[in-house]
């Protein structure tokens, strides 16, 4: 069933891109490939990956399970391969299992991944609302639902430490099992700051990618932050699509012309190139990390 849904989404995205391509004037396309900007964009994306690794590592430390940067990076990159399997649980599962080989309890590892994942989504929605409500309307058809979801996720993270303490207090009184992990507010803060910054860096890199293709990039950096984050979140919410494939492309092809960042024909080119570009940047370090993880014995 999942395979059929993935095929349907990819087919729909391909049809949308083809329709936009055929309806757009090819005269609008003027390529001016600039390798320097491509390398700069790639460097920013990789630096963002490393910052997210450090964010996760700091969350783990605040949960009482400090891990060196090297092992954390290896697990983070290797587990990213899970996003290319239908369903969204494989990356989380891989991170929990793999970091457990470095002595981190599964409850702590699971809590850290949940905190960072929710923070990534919450800050993504917040950044899109701050940079372009038009992008929100183009993707969601309105703003109310996105505002409610964003506030709900942020509130759940902020309330996590209090809820855990209250649960343990009640558990002690009524003889129930206490939670083995409590999430301090500092862990939530680190996750929100790190994930929030990452969206701006991704948007900047996305703008440089467009400049690398066409020699210029219309619009402001905040517009590209909105376009990148909103399309990424659409792919994230389509649970059965591996890596958001299909859903992200369909959303991006709509958002770019709507925000005045590209013509329809340019949007098709940007959508395809960005997917290939990001896939290479994700897969190369992930495959290397996964290979090293397989060869590495578990920590006793």
Give the model's confidence band at 86: pLDDT under 50 very low, under 70 low, under 90 confident, else very high. low
> Token match 């996105």: residue?
146
Rounded to the nearest 10 degrees, what angle do helices 221-237 and 133-140 cross at? 30
Summarize the confidence of residues 9-30 as an average pLDDT.
53
CB-based contacts of 103-107 (< 8 A; 24+ apart in sequence): 103/65, 103/299, 104/60, 104/65, 104/67, 105/65, 105/180, 105/181, 107/180, 107/181
Check if the beta carbon of residue 252 is closer than 8 Å to that of residue 267: yes
pTM of the model: 0.81
Percentage with pLDDT > 90 across the chain: 31
For range 193-217, the mean pLDDT? 96
Does the structure show a pLDDT above 90 at 247?
no
Inform me whether the pLDDT recorded for 36 exceeds 90: yes
Local confidence band at 287 (pLDDT 50, 70, 90 cut-offs) = confident
CA distance 186 to 163: 15
- pLDDT at 222 > cutoff 60: yes
Q: Report, as an integer, the average pLDDT of 92-120.
A: 87
């Amino acid at each position: 069933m999942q395979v059929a849904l993935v095929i349907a989404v990819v087919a729909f995205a391909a049809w949308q891109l083809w329709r936009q391509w055929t309806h757009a004037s090819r005269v609008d396309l003027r390529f001016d490939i600039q390798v320097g900007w491509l390398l700069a964009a790639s460097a920013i994306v990789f630096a963002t990956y490393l910052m997210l690794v450090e964010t996760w590592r700091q969350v783990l430390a605040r949960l009482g399970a400090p891990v060196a940067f090297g092992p954390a990076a290896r697990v983070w990159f290797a587990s990213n391969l899970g996003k290319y399997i239908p369903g969204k649980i494989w990356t989380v599962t891989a991170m929990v299992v793999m970091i457990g080989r470095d002595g981190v309890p599964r409850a702590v590892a699971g809590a850290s991944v949940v905190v960072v994942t929710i923070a990534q989504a919450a800050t993504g929605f917040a950044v899109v609302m701050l940079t372009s409500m038009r992008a929100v309307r183009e993707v969601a058809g309105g703003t109310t639902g996105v505002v409610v979801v964003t506030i709900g996720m942020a509130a759940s993270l902020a309330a996590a430490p209090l809820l855990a303490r209250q649960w343990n207090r009640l558990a002690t009184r009524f003889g129930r099992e206490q939670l083995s992990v409590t999430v301090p507010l500092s862990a939530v803060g680190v996750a929100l700051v790190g994930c929030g910054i990452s969206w701006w860096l991704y948007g900047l890199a996305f703008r440089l990618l467009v400049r690398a293709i066409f020699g210029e990039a219309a619009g402001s950096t905040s517009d590209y932050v909105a376009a990148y984050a909103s399309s990424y979140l659409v792919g994230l919410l389509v649970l059965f699509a591996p890596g958001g494939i299909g859903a992200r492309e369909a959303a991006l092809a709509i958002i770019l012309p709507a925000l005045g960042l590209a013509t329809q024909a340019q949007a098709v080119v940007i959508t395809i190139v960005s997917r290939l570009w990001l896939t290479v940047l994700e897969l190369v370090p992930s495959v290397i990390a996964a290979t090293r993880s397989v060869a590495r014995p578990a920590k006793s």
